[in-house]
Chains A and B, each alone.
Chain A
Amino acid sequence: MRTLDQAPPITGIRLVGLTKSYGAVQAVRGVDISVAAGETVALLGPNGAGKSTTIDMLLGLTRPDEGRVELFGMPPSDAIAAGAVGVMLQTGGLIRDLSVRELITMMAALYAEPLGVDEVLDVTGLGDIADRRTQKLSGGEAQRTRFALALVSNPELLVLDEPTVALDVQSRHDFWAAMRGFAARGKTVVFATHYLEEADAYADRVVLMSLGRVVADGPPTEIKARVGRRLIRATLAEADLADLAGLPGVVAVDRHGQTVELRCTDSDAAVRALLAAYPGARNLEIQGAGLEEAFLELTVNGDRSPERGPR
């Protein structure tokens, strides 16, 4: 796990001890996250986990009650003024009476080294509707245009808050392809999502948030390993469940007809012991826990878990 003491040489983002309350509601309760330049980090969590509040504080749109934010060693406002940050907020419409191309050109003009407008239209798949007025776009087209506005600034840091909410499956796929292409240029990307598969598939690192805290922080594989649960299925007619539960590495057992299911913290040890004790076990299956499962496990235990992210 990355801690502040072992911060990477070039820090893109540093969030230290952030807290934020709205009245009696503690939206963020002490968040520390460091992101190295060039990393793609998913901020994953259910609604109300504090992702958007954290992003708003990261961008300087919201002032933290406590803690501080640095983007490339600067306060957020300086980094934004320097044109180093491209942002796609969770909500927001587009101003009307301009074509897609005109709107992108207008916003590109605010930056010192923007990407080419045609290049951005191409990457975001907006080429065909470049001359369409913004008030005539579908939800997905508007969403892609907002992505284009974030990209055209050619930022060092791209921040995306729930970027694929309004998109259909194909657009979602195209969106992530474009994001990946951008990240491949060595840019830092932070995106908030509650789609587990997106965090799993597109992030180098997942920061899992629950109830205003970081409950896990690491590569998607590490998040899964942290929970460590694997499921062994086997066809095994005559076996005592209590005996099975006593096998090394097994924490829970269950039976469905002839099939037994063993939940394991150490599936390797469990499999060896299972086959040694029951040579008749057939149709062995070992399943890794999906991020979905890891997510449930960690968020449910979030408030009690000793693992509260990097301190």
Chain B
Amino acid sequence: MSTTVYTRYELLRAARNTRFFTFTLAFPVVMFFLIAAPNRDQQLDGIPFALYYMTGMICWGAMAAVIAGGARIAAERSLGWQRQLRVTPLPVRTYFRAKVLTGYLTAALTIALMYLAGTSVGVRMPAGDWVKLTVLVLIGLIPFAVLGILLGHLLTVDSMGPALGGLTALFALVGGAWGPIVSTGFLRRLTEGVPSYWLVQAGKSVTTGDGWPATAWIVLAVWTLVLGVLAVRVYQRDTART
């Protein structure tokens, strides 16, 4: 049995969904050039404007990509395809892994495009910082990959579009992808409890320090855990052998 072949065709399917691909990839880049390019000489939140916006748009685009990876499950549920898969030897973990991988590969494209866009307007960092930034972003996406699987079992195909658009915009906004919504005080501390905040902060964290503070790791871990438990519950409810 080869789960590699299965996963490869899953990726092929995602790549052929060009409309989704174009939107996920294009929106953040366009937004970046519209907002960051004219302000390239400014500072934002204590770091160069372009660096802040580059990570902000990565947060938005990559987050949408990994959530969408799991959200594809909704379509397969409504088709009855998931039921069909349950009468094949396909292990459940391979099924989910393919969905997460699809999301991550789309996210990787967004990240690469945004790095190109960033450097084209003057974002400069030591090579080590680029690597660190990439690692932090990939880790910061984990709760959103889990959220995608949760939504895939919770929502219908019809409600998925608005839910995806709304949720990613909300997480991006609160996380400060288009600029910090509050700079100090209690509300800022509140936004620190949102995982997208730390995705956006990844740029600042690697250029002004060694990476995220402990708070970031705790926030990401708690969100991943809670969303994970919910996802498992919803999956079990959905596939209950009633």
Contacts and interface: CB of A to CB of B under 8 A. Distances in A.
B192 interface: no
A110 B6 contact: yes
Contact of B9 (A82, A85, A96, A105): A105
Interface in B64-89: 75-76, 79-81, 83-84, 86-89
Interface residues of B, number: 27
A285 B126 CA distance: 98
Given A87-B84, A93-B81, A106-B5, A62 B242 contact: yes
B225 to A, nearest CB: 28
A122 B4 CA distance: 26
Given A105-B9, A111-B1, A81 B79 contact: no
Interface string A81-121: 11101010101111111100011011101111000000000
A62 B84 CA distance: 13
Given A107-B88, A109-B6, A110-B6, A95 B79 contact: yes
B9 A60 contact: no
A267 interface: no
A95 B76 contact: yes
A85 B17 CA distance: 32
B22 interface: no
A63 interface: yes
Contacts of A87: 84, 87-88
A96 B13 contact: yes
A210 interface: no
A107 to B, nearest CB: 7
A299 interface: no
Contacts of A153: 88
B242 A106 contact: no
29 contacts: A61-B83, A61-B86, A62-B241, A62-B242, A80-B89, A82-B89, A87-B87, A89-B80, A92-B81, A93-B79, A93-B80, A94-B79, A94-B81, A95-B13, A95-B75, A97-B12, A97-B14, A97-B17, A102-B12, A105-B5, A105-B9, A106-B5, A106-B9, A110-B1, A110-B2, A110-B3, A111-B1, A111-B88, A153-B88
